Amino acid sequence: MVQASPVPSVVRVARSHQILAFLIPVYAAWALALVVVGPPQLGDGPTHPLGIALAMFPVMVATVAAAAVLATAVVDGPDGLRDLVGRLRRPPSPPVWYLLILVPPAAGSWSC
């Protein structure tokens, strides 16, 4: 009697080809967006309204983030997700260094 493997074959493939586990959902979502919105018009003809491009940009960014979380969940499981969330919550440097981020906007506002 053949016993079923405890890990589904898709998960085994994703674990052995980790980059593909990330890229396939990203490109599939982008292809779906291309079908929904349509290809860009190059040349002098009518183009898509700017609102469509502005609406699609956050969708594309969120798609990449979702694919990264999905790939982490499939490849590393719950421990990988816990590690990912833990690294997102932990600041990479002391908080005082974040004050340097405020210097360029402050300098730009004073020069006006």
Tens-binned pLDDT, residue by residue, of the chain (112 aa): 556 666 678 788 888 888 988 999 899 988 888 887 777 666 666 666 667 767 778 888 899 999 999 999 988 989 999 999 988 887 777 878 878 887 777 676 665 5
- End-to-end Cα, the chain, rounded Å: 79
**Percent helix, strand, coil in the chain (nearest 5)?**
75, 0, 25
- The pLDDT value recorded for residue 33 is 82
Enter the pTM of the model. Answer: 0.63
